[in-house]
With several copies, the nearest count.
Chain A
Amino acid sequence: MKFYEYKAHEIFRKYGIPVPRGVLAATPEDLVDPPLPCAVKAQVLVGGRGKAGGIKFAKTLEEAREAARAILGMTIGPYTVRQVYAQEMLDIAKELYLSITIDRSARAPLLIASATGGMEIESVPEKSLFRIHLPPLVGLQPYVLRALAKKLGLPKEGASRVSDIVRKAFALFEGEDAELVEINPLAVLKDGRVMAGDAKLIVDDNAEYRHPEYADLPQDRTPLEEEAHDKGITFIQLDGDIGVIANGAGLTMATLDVLNLKGGRGGTFLDLGGTDDPEKVKQAFEILLKAAPSVILLNIFGGITKADTVAQGVREALEEMHVNVPVIARIKGVNEDRAREILQGIGHPADSMEEAAELAVRAKAGGP
Chain B
Amino acid sequence: MAVLLDEKTKLIVQGITGHQGQFHTEKMLEYGTKVVAGVTPGKGGENVQGVPVFDSCFDAVDATGANASILFVPAPYAKDAAIEAVEAGVELLVMITERIPFHDCLDIMPYARAKGCRVIGPNCPGLISAGKAKAGIMPNHIFKEGDVGVISRSGTLTYEIVNAITQAGFGQSTCIGIGGDPVIGTSMPEALELLSKDRQTKRIVVVGEIGGTAEEETARRAKRIRKPVFAYIAGRTAPPGKRMGHAGAIISRGMGTADSKIQAFEAAGARVAAYPVEIATLLRSD
Identify the interface centre among B103, B152, B213, B249: most chain A CB within 10 Å of its CB: B103
**A248–B110 alpha-carbon span in the complex (Å):** 28
CB pair A138–B108 under 8 Å, yes or no, is yes
CB distance from B272 to the nearest CB of A (A): 13
CB pair A353–B250 under 8 Å, yes or no, is no
CB pair A304–B137 under 8 Å, yes or no, is yes
Which of B2-10, B79-87, B168-176, B198-206 faces chain A? B79-87
Which of B63-71, B158-166, B222-230, B263-271 faces chain A? B158-166
A366 at the interface (CB under 8 A from B): no
Interface residues of A (CB under 8 A from B): 2, 47, 97, 99, 101-105, 107-110, 112, 121-122, 126, 129, 132-133, 135-138, 141-143, 146-147, 150, 174, 177, 179-180, 182, 184, 200, 202, 204, 206-207, 209-210, 236, 238, 246-251, 253-254, 256-261, 266, 269, 273-274, 301-305, 332-334, 352-354
Identify the interface centre among B80, B125, B213: most chain A CB within 10 Å of its CB: B80
Q: Which residues of A contact B243 (CB under 8 A)?
A: 47
CB distance from A307 to the nearest CB of B (A): 11
Q: Which of B83-133 contact A (CB under 8 A)?
A: 83-84, 86-87, 98-103, 105-111, 114, 125
Q: Which residues of A contact B257 (CB under 8 A)?
A: none
CB pair A353–B83 under 8 Å, yes or no, is no
**A284–B103 alpha-carbon span in the complex (Å):** 30
Q: Which residues of B contact A150 (CB under 8 A)?
A: 55-56
**A273–B125 alpha-carbon span in the complex (Å):** 12
Q: Which residues of A contact B137 (CB under 8 A)?
A: 274, 303-304
CB distance from B247 to the nearest CB of A (A): 4
CB pair B236–A257 under 8 Å, yes or no, is yes
8 A/B residue pairs, CB under 8 Å, sorted by A: A104-B183, A137-B106, A138-B108, A200-B245, A207-B101, A269-B238, A269-B239, A303-B139
CB pair A254–B109 under 8 Å, yes or no, is no
CB pair A109–B214 under 8 Å, yes or no, is no
Q: Which residues of B contact A200 (CB under 8 A)?
A: 245
CB distance from B38 to the nearest CB of A (A): 15
CB pair B155–A303 under 8 Å, yes or no, is yes
Q: Which residues of A contact B50 (CB under 8 A)?
A: none
Q: What sequence of 0s and 1s flags, for each residue 241-263 of chain B, a beta carbon within 8 Å of any chain A beta carbon?
A: 01111111111010000000000
CB distance from B89 to the nearest CB of A (A): 11
Q: Which residues of A contact B33 (CB under 8 A)?
A: none
**A223–B51 alpha-carbon span in the complex (Å):** 47
Q: 5 smallest A-B Cβ distances: which pairs?
A: A250-B154, A250-B157, A248-B156, A207-B101, A143-B84
| Other-chain residue from B55, B110, B156, B236 in contact with A303 (beta carbon distance below 8 A) | B156
CB pair A258–B157 under 8 Å, yes or no, is no
B234 at the interface (CB under 8 A from A): yes
Q: Which residues of B contact A332 (CB under 8 A)?
A: 159-160, 163
**A171–B111 alpha-carbon span in the complex (Å):** 20
CB pair A146–B207 under 8 Å, yes or no, is no
| Other-chain residue from B152, B159, B214 in contact with A333 (beta carbon distance below 8 A) | B159
Interface residues of B (CB under 8 A from A): 20, 23-24, 41, 55-58, 75-77, 79-81, 83-84, 86-87, 98-103, 105-111, 114, 125, 137-139, 152-160, 163, 180, 182-184, 187, 207, 209-210, 212-214, 217, 232, 234-239, 242-251, 253, 274-277
- Which secondary structure characterizes the binding site on chain A? mixed
Q: Give the nearest-CB partner of A353 in chain B.
A: B276
Q: Which residues of A contact B209 (CB under 8 A)?
A: 249-250, 253
**A102–B249 alpha-carbon span in the complex (Å):** 13
| Other-chain residue from A121, A135, A207, A236 in contact with B239 (beta carbon distance below 8 A) | A236
CB pair B87–A133 under 8 Å, yes or no, is yes
**A103–B87 alpha-carbon span in the complex (Å):** 14
CB distance from B125 to the nearest CB of A (A): 7
**A126–B235 alpha-carbon span in the complex (Å):** 27
Q: Which residues of B contact A135 (CB under 8 A)?
A: 83, 86-87, 111
Q: Contacts A141-B79, A182-B245, A184-B246 given; 6 further ones with Cβ under 8 A?
A: A112-B247, A136-B107, A141-B83, A253-B234, A253-B238, A269-B238
Q: Which residues of B contact A121 (CB under 8 A)?
A: 246, 250
Q: Which residues of A contact B108 (CB under 8 A)?
A: 138
CB pair B101–A99 under 8 Å, yes or no, is no
CB pair B111–A261 under 8 Å, yes or no, is no
CB pair A202–B242 under 8 Å, yes or no, is yes
CB pair A102–B156 under 8 Å, yes or no, is no
CB pair B250–A122 under 8 Å, yes or no, is yes
Contact A301 to B249, CB < 8 A, known contacts A146-B55, A354-B275:
no
CB distance from A218 to the nearest CB of B (A): 15
